[in-house]
Amino acid sequence: MKRTLISTAIALISGLAIHAAVQAANDEPIQPIKPPANINLGMVELGKKLYFDPRLSKSGFISCNSCHNLSMGGTDNIPTSIGDKWQQGPINAPTVLNSSLNVAQFWDGRAADLKAQAGGPIANPGEMAFSHTLAINVLESIPGYVREFKQVFGKDKISIEEVTLAIAEFEKTLVTPNSRFDQWLLGKKDALTADELAGYKLFKESGCVACHNGEAVGGNSFQKMGVVEPYKTSATAGGRADVTGKDADRFNFKVPTLRNVEMTYPYFHDGAANTLTEAVDIMGRLQLGKKFTKDENAKVVAFLKTLTGDQPNFALPILPPSTDKTPRPTPFAK
Amino acid sequence: MKRTLISTAIALISGLAIHAAVQAANDEPIQPIKPPANINLGMVELGKKLYFDPRLSKSGFISCNSCHNLSMGGTDNIPTSIGDKWQQGPINAPTVLNSSLNVAQFWDGRAADLKAQAGGPIANPGEMAFSHTLAINVLESIPGYVREFKQVFGKDKISIEEVTLAIAEFEKTLVTPNSRFDQWLLGKKDALTADELAGYKLFKESGCVACHNGEAVGGNSFQKMGVVEPYKTSATAGGRADVTGKDADRFNFKVPTLRNVEMTYPYFHDGAANTLTEAVDIMGRLQLGKKFTKDENAKVVAFLKTLTGDQPNFALPILPPSTDKTPRPTPFAK
């Protein structure tokens, strides 16, 4: 009886401690990333192949992974992307990491979800420069794909619906839990240094969290680029206004996630900021009317670097070979 | 004593059986691929990162894996490769798979080994368009690389020597043992179908093995393209003559490996043959003066498809991020 009482007391105290830690995490404007749930693994394996398959492009050279490179934070680390025939893209490729947590996809949110996004670049003449029909023709000529689509979707015919569903399912797995910041949120109080914690305090007190909050530290709202001071850029993207047609939405862009931001340089929709130091300085001035000192800036940057989580960890997919019937890519066709 | 005698007899018989199987394999003009030995694993891990790192190119977009894609048989599956600013390459990208077994590297053998090859594309203005000095500047600005080079080579400075050594060490691991044909060579007599075996018999009896032999089923000699009939091509490559300066070496090319040939389409140094059927037909006529019937051709092709071995199996490498000091790529610079 006494033992039971003591056990109950210990359980109660442990419970309270856990509750307190969880409560602490909940009180913060940023929440730890949860590993993905409710995942269809067969669809993920198929989507992973499609994500890496350059045969979904006209040239046979560009895959999803070309511009959203999973070796490099899910981006291409260049200001604006390279498309078919080396065309210069109009906007910086946003990271695919944690993109399942975004309120919508693309900088202007023109795709409601990952599935709607996935079909875009394939048929964009400035990107993969193919068409959905041509992509399906390629896939249907490859027995390895036909079998895998049948296994996963139970259908004999492949359509762009299944292609984008599979790519989206794979992308749902590309979350990056377990960053040092998340470890700290979950109760490991020595996971951050004093400078990193000071940077987080500045990040909250200066107002950065007003937009960069939640599980992805961003990605959940559209905000004007240049609130206090206008943002000067040669990029022509109009932002959210291009979708809504409303002038009030001009230069409103989806707030980018700050998860893995150490890896996703250069920054902003035009990729004009090469370093985090630059990005923090510009954001402070243009969005908050605040000039961070050199020391404050360094502390905020130190905090931002604690947001790098576990990167994707999977075997490089091997793609099923084309057959005699597979239409061949035309990289140099006029 | 009796037990010992019986055991000895059994051991002797087993030994003879194994000997007979090995003997049979040795009697064939093709030998099974051996897994790589004497491998420096630290160097492999470093070389794997470098192999996937587009920061070794001027644009920040092209890595070794762009044209020697390990998801696609170690090739790009287009007739001639795409280089910096979408330049059209002069020759088909040979597979990197089993390239450690080649007598020399490149179609004309101008590099003696993998290490000598690895530096070529980085500095080739039509390929990665960078320079060795600029590539080293990038690597030395990245602490993750500096530490890893120091760990592997014990030096504080990075030079192109270590870069190419590491890439070559990684490439040595890219052999593909365990094809169905190798299983058959090693004694699994039901590994091949009757048609595949008939194809192999034709392959030997028609003279294909004169050039396509050894562990890599090729890669070990230079031969003239167009022995019986001249080969018509718009490609300007002179072959071995470009290296030796001898007219007798004109249109002599390194015999390509036929390992994984199902995955390494299109074929020939100009990538002009889209299918194995086409390639077998042309090789028969131009090199051997032999017109394969449709049935013979199909059997040879069936045999060739048994040469697909275990593909590379490793986790996609995660690249250490650039820092504020890292020179940025210039994909669109004039």
In single-letter form, the type of residue at position B116 comes to A
Do B187 and B296 sit in the same domain of this protein?
yes
Q: Do A315 and B315 touch (CB under 8 A)?
A: yes
User: A244 falls in which pLDDT band (50, 70, 90)?
Assistant: very high
Do B210 and B281 sit in the same domain of this protein?
yes
**Is residue B69 situated within a structural domain?**
yes
pLDDT for residue B6: 55
End position of a domain, from candidates A129, A151, A172: A172
**Is residue A35 situated within a structural domain?**
no
Do B118 and B190 sit in the same domain of this protein?
no
Which member of A61, A85, A312 has the closest CB to residue B76? Answer: A61
User: A11 falls in which pLDDT band (50, 70, 90)?
Assistant: low
CATH number of the domain where residue B228 is located:
1.10.760.10
**CB neighbours of residue B105 within 10 Å:** 25
**Is residue A331 situated within a structural domain?**
no
**Is residue A190 situated within a structural domain?**
yes
Residues of A in contact with B66 (CB under 8 A): 61
Do B147 and B235 sit in the same domain of this protein?
no
In single-letter form, the type of residue at position A333 comes to A
- Distance separating alpha carbons of residues A51 and A45, to the nearest angstrom: 10
Domain that holds residue B156: 41-172
pLDDT for residue A1: 43
Which member of A77, A265, A311 has the closest CB to residue B318? Answer: A311
pTM here is 0.93
Do A150 and A216 sit in the same domain of this protein?
no
Q: Nearest-CA distance from B135 to chain A in Å?
A: 16
In single-letter form, the type of residue at position B135 comes to A
Q: Do A324 and B70 touch (CB under 8 A)?
A: no
**Is residue B324 situated within a structural domain?**
no
- Distance separating alpha carbons of residues A74 and A99, to the nearest angstrom: 10
Do A166 and A194 sit in the same domain of this protein?
no
Mean pLDDT of A101-116: 97
∠B163-B165-B169 over CA atoms, to 5°?
120
Q: What is the 3-state secondary structure (H, E, C) of chain B?
A: CHHHHHHHHHHHHHHHHHHHHHHHHHHCCECCCCCCCCCCHHHHHHHHHHHCCHHHCCCCCCCHHHHCECCCCCECCCCCCEEHHHEECCCCCCCCCCHHHCCCECCCCCECCHHHHHHHHHHCCCCCCCCHHHHHHHHHCCHHHHHHHHHHHCCCCCCHHHHHHHHHHHHHCCCCCCCHHHHHHCCCHHHCCHHHHHHHHHHHHCCHHHCCCECCCCCCCEEECCCCCCCCCCCCCCECHHHHCCHHHCCEEECCCCCCCCCCCCECCCCCECCHHHHHHHHHHHHHCCCCCHHHHHHHHHHHHHHCCCCCCCECCCCCCCCCCCCCCCCCCC
Number of domains comprising chain A: 2
Q: Nearest-CA distance from B243 to chain A in Å?
A: 28
- Distance separating alpha carbons of residues A327 and A324, to the nearest angstrom: 8
**Beta pairing, strands B222-224 & B87-88:** unpaired
Inter-residue contact A48 to A148 (CB < 8 Å)? no
Inter-residue contact B176 to B259 (CB < 8 Å)? yes
**Is residue B32 situated within a structural domain?**
no
pLDDT in tens, chain B (334 residues): 455 555 555 555 555 555 555 555 568 999 999 999 999 999 999 999 999 999 999 999 999 999 999 999 999 999 999 999 999 999 999 999 999 999 999 999 999 999 999 999 999 999 999 999 999 999 999 999 999 999 999 999 999 999 999 999 999 999 999 999 999 999 999 999 999 999 999 999 999 999 999 999 999 999 999 999 999 999 989 999 999 999 999 999 999 999 999 999 999 999 999 999 999 999 999 999 999 999 999 999 999 999 999 999 999 999 999 999 999 999 998 7
- Distance separating alpha carbons of residues A237 and A227, to the nearest angstrom: 17
Do B67 and B139 sit in the same domain of this protein?
yes
Inter-residue contact A310 to A182 (CB < 8 Å)? no
Residues of B in contact with A57 (CB under 8 A): none
What is the chain B residue with the closest CA to A52?
B71
Do B192 and B244 sit in the same domain of this protein?
yes
Indicate the DSSP class of residue A208: G
pLDDT for residue B26: 63
Catalytic residue annotation of B:
127
Residues of B in contact with A324 (CB under 8 A): 274-277
Whether residue B53 lies within 8 A of chain A, CB to CB, comes out as yes
Do A188 and A281 sit in the same domain of this protein?
yes
What is the ipTM metric for this complex? Answer: 0.92
Give the mean pLDDT of chain A: 94
Evaluate the omega torsion of the peptide bond into residue B266 and state whether it is cis, within 30 degrees of 0.
Answer: yes
Q: HSE-up of B101 (CA within 13 Å, CB side)? A: 30
Q: Do B314 and A316 touch (CB under 8 A)?
A: yes
Residues of B in contact with A59 (CB under 8 A): 78, 82
Do A196 and A289 sit in the same domain of this protein?
yes
Whether residue A311 lies within 8 A of chain B, CB to CB, comes out as yes
- The predicted-structure confidence for A172-188, as pLDDT tens digits, reads as follows 999 999 999 999 999 99
- In order of A67, A78, A128, A308, B84, the CA distances from B62 in angstroms are 11, 12, 16, 25, 8
In single-letter form, the type of residue at position A39 comes to I
User: A334 falls in which pLDDT band (50, 70, 90)?
Assistant: confident
Whether residue B96 lies within 8 A of chain A, CB to CB, comes out as no
In single-letter form, the type of residue at position B236 comes to T
**Is residue B294 situated within a structural domain?**
yes
Residues of A in contact with B55 (CB under 8 A): 77
- The predicted-structure confidence for A130-151, as pLDDT tens digits, reads as follows 999 999 999 999 999 999 999 9
- Distance separating alpha carbons of residues B156 and B148, to the nearest angstrom: 10
Do A168 and A48 sit in the same domain of this protein?
yes
Enter the tokens of residue A26: 């909940």
Mean pLDDT of A211-238: 96
Do B92 and B191 sit in the same domain of this protein?
no
pLDDT for residue B213: 98
Q: Do B331 and A61 touch (CB under 8 A)?
A: no
Whether residue B233 lies within 8 A of chain A, CB to CB, comes out as no
Enter the tokens of residue A309: 């989580």
Mean pLDDT of A5-29: 58
**Is residue B164 situated within a structural domain?**
yes
